[in-house]
Chains A and B, each alone.
Chain A
Amino acid sequence: MILVDKDTKVIVQGATGKMGGAHAKRMLDYGTKLVAGVTPGKAGERVHGIPVFDTVQEAVDKTQADCSVIFVPPYLALDAGCEAAEAGIKTIVVITEGIPPQDTVKLVHYLKEKDALLIGPNCPGVISPGACLVGILPGSIFKPGRIGMVSRSGTLTYEIALALSDAGLGQSTCVGIGGDPIKGLDYQTILTLFEKDPGTEAIVLIGEIGGSAEEEAAAFIKEKCKKPVVAYIAGQTAPPGKRMGHAGAIVTGGKGTAQSKIEALNAARVKIASTPSQVAKFVAEVAKLPAKT
């Protein structure tokens, strides 16, 4: 597994909010070592039994947390992320959707200087099934195993994880890198981590229209990846010039099409599936793992 495991100590920024509170409960129920919440002005309260602090620094000092998951409103996310990095947190997962991209540019820059990893924004988080859930992914869909997943989408990741789990193909770690055009960790960083991870046998890459991240990932896979990769690309039927939900999912000036991504990945000898169940079928073939039928 990569990024998060059973020893990861997690805090929730925005723990007393509706979203933060509800997902804190689900993370705790999953078995995540959730050690604290942070909401300015709410120190001393408890959320589902975990202590709430005013500042991230105080939470880190008291709990030695090393990972933060951020649920604060969009215009407060830049500040929250910087606060976490300043307090020494090294893995920062931003769930919040709708952050102005120029705030994300600043956040990416700040976290790089502090040597902290940014996952997201506008992402479902990270799960190492059976060990740690950080974010909003529905834990019951994921099963422990040896397939690594990386995706720009949330629910599509769940769909494909479901197909894998149903086929008896558990996952080492699943990472949602987010649907925004400007983001933290890219495919290549996650692929590198999976390449080095002895617990990962094969990798599933889930992409979508817009930008050139999949093309860059394809070039990287061609050069650096020894483990087999299966890909799924969403948005083949998307009309050009229209934003398909995610801020980053748009074909402009003929660039960022599903076709271009599929061609690049094909050239890197990545198998492209056309349905979630086909992802599972291809993974079973390339990973030489026994799949249930």
Chain B
Amino acid sequence: MNLYEYEAKQIFAEFGIPIPPSVRITKAEELSKVLFGYPLVLKCQVLSGGRGKAGGVKFPKDLKEGQKIAAELLKLTINGSPTRSLLVEPMLPIKQELYLSITLDRAQGTAIFIASKEGGIEIESSHNVVTMPVPYPYHPFTGRELAKQLGLSGPILVKVADIANKLYKLFEAKDLDLAEINPLIITEGGEVIAGDGKIIVNDDSLARQKTFTGWQESHLDELTDRERRAKLSGLNLVELKGKIGILCNGAGLTMATMDMVKAFGGEPANFLDVGGGSDQDKTLAALDIVNENPDIEVILLNILGGITACDEVASALVKFIKKNPQRQLVVRLRGNNQDLAEKILADSGLKLIKDLEPAVQEAVDRSNSARGKGAPVAAK
């Protein structure tokens, strides 16, 4: 779950990382109550990246200009994420900008510090990146070592080291995938302050992080409506632009099925992994949500039952067909309780295909012929 900048900064502050004074506004008029003096900084609060490039950060020179710009910014949608509020901060006297983040390094299997003497730019374009695997258990000398490697010295080294240590503490305490300060500002007066903040909370940890209880629904801007509803009901849906709805069990098999659909000349409309051990209700919910997509011509259901029992899937299919008799369905079912599934589906008229590749071919053929006729098969 991505957090907004203002939320990330509140968490920084809780852990003792210095942040600039700020006010969050949702209406341009509220700017008149902000007494930081001008020029000041107005920043769109969005969940997507690329805010600066998209014009989501402005520096008005007086209140009049500020209110005009604020009204414009509040209408801005950046990479799919609408601006619902603005963060207002005073301009800081910047001497230097650094980059500091912690994330998980897959290859090394540890948390890792990523830092640079060049802040305020995308880290990918920096040439002075310092990386440091985080030892487990953690010791604060790690922060000092990192600051040293950034070429810092004196009180600034001590302050940056302290911030790095606090950033690790919150990264661990809040179960984050990413904690990023970019830029980490060194002011003319020798203060070190988090100029911006990005936090990604690990989705699997949300249930044990009470801070974030109930946050997820308001932090899913990057998803389509159907993807959002799928996620909230425990299904993994990613929508694409194609015509063949796909429903499988297991992420690898779902991806492989999509790849084969494409290789056989079809276009996958989605990725949907119902997960292992899904029962009737979950399978039916998954079928329903794929079926809602108006672009699809045929649904390809591919279940290889390991934990998943084929008879549960078959029962869901019977209910689905009853509701949607016109829907083109290609079903590949194999594995655990396959014989029971065949019995359940015997009266439905639905042909079960035992092997994957012929099933994919059948779905692609049906999709192509649906288009050949110029009329997509209606859902009802």
A residues apposed to B, CB below 8 Å: 19, 23, 74-75, 97-102, 104-106, 108-109, 124, 136-138, 141, 151-159, 162, 179, 181-183, 206, 208-209, 211-213, 216, 232, 234-239, 242-249, 253, 274-277
B202 within 8 A of A: yes
Q: Are B252 and A156 in contact (CB under 8 A)?
A: yes
| Cα(A157)–Cα(B203), bound, Å | 26
Interface size on B, residues (CB 8 A): 50
29 contacts between A and B (CB under 8 A): A23-B307, A101-B204, A102-B104, A102-B202, A105-B111, A136-B276, A136-B307, A154-B253, A154-B306, A155-B248, A156-B253, A158-B253, A179-B251, A182-B104, A208-B251, A209-B255, A211-B106, A234-B255, A237-B255, A238-B238, A238-B258, A239-B240, A243-B236, A243-B238, A244-B238, A274-B259, A274-B260, A275-B357, A276-B256
Q: Are A152 and B252 in contact (CB under 8 A)?
A: yes
| Cα(A249)–Cα(B248), bound, Å | 16
B109 within 8 A of A: yes
B376 within 8 A of A: no
Q: Which of B204, B248, B261 contacts A74 (CB 8 A)?
A: B204
B110 within 8 A of A: yes
B291 within 8 A of A: no
**Residues B88-137 near A (CB distance < 8 A):** 104, 106-107, 109-111, 124, 136
| Cα(A208)–Cα(B357), bound, Å | 19
B residues apposed to A, CB below 8 Å: 104, 106-107, 109-111, 124, 136, 172, 175, 177, 202-205, 207-208, 236, 238, 240, 248-256, 258-263, 268, 271, 273, 275-277, 304-307, 334-336, 356-357
Residue numbers in A under 8 Å from B205 (CB-CB): 100, 102
B205 and chain A: residue at smallest CB distance: A100
Q: Which of A155, A208, A247, A275 contacts B304 (CB 8 A)?
A: A155
Q: Are B252 and A179 in contact (CB under 8 A)?
A: yes
Residue numbers in A under 8 Å from B307 (CB-CB): 19, 23, 136
Interface residues of chain B: helix, strand, loop or mixed (majority): mixed
Residue numbers in A under 8 Å from B277 (CB-CB): 19
| Cα(A163)–Cα(B367), bound, Å | 26
Q: Are A105 and B104 in contact (CB under 8 A)?
A: yes
Residue numbers in A under 8 Å from B256 (CB-CB): 156, 159, 232, 234, 276
Contacts A208-B255, A234-B259, A242-B238 given; does A276 touch B356 at CB 8 Å: yes
Q: Which of B177, B259, B260 contacts A101 (CB 8 A)?
A: B177
Q: How far is the CB of B188 from chain A (nearest CB, A)?
A: 34
- 10 nearest A-B pairs in the assembled complex, by CB-CB distance: A153-B252, A245-B251, A155-B250, A156-B252, A155-B253, A245-B273, A234-B255, A100-B205, A246-B251, A235-B255
Residue numbers in A under 8 Å from B276 (CB-CB): 97, 136, 154-155
Q: Which of A106, A152, A179, A237 contacts B258 (CB 8 A)?
A: A237
| Cα(A135)–Cα(B380), bound, Å | 42
Interface residues of chain A: helix, strand, loop or mixed (majority): loop
Q: How far is the CB of A215 from chain B (nearest CB, A)?
A: 10
Q: Are B271 and A238 in contact (CB under 8 A)?
A: yes
Total number of residue pairs linking A and B with CB closer than 8 Å: 160
Listed residue (A74, A141, A209, A242) with the most chain B CB atoms within 10 angstroms of its CB: A242
Q: Which of B236, B305, B335 contacts A245 (CB 8 A)?
A: B236
| Cα(A109)–Cα(B108), bound, Å | 11
Q: Are A162 and B106 in contact (CB under 8 A)?
A: no
Q: Are A159 and B253 in contact (CB under 8 A)?
A: yes
Q: How far is the CB of B357 from chain A (nearest CB, A)?
A: 6
| Cα(A155)–Cα(B306), bound, Å | 7
Q: Are A101 and B202 in contact (CB under 8 A)?
A: yes
Q: Are B250 and A154 in contact (CB under 8 A)?
A: yes
Residue numbers in B under 8 Å from A245 (CB-CB): 236, 250-252, 254-255, 271, 273, 275
Residue numbers in A under 8 Å from B251 (CB-CB): 153, 179, 208, 244-246, 249
Q: Are B260 and A182 in contact (CB under 8 A)?
A: no
B268 and chain A: residue at smallest CB distance: A237
Q: Which of A100, A137, A235, A247 contacts B306 (CB 8 A)?
A: A137
Q: Are B254 and A244 in contact (CB under 8 A)?
A: yes
Q: How far is the CB of B302 from chain A (nearest CB, A)?
A: 9
Q: Are B262 and A236 in contact (CB under 8 A)?
A: yes
Q: Are B335 and A138 in contact (CB under 8 A)?
A: yes
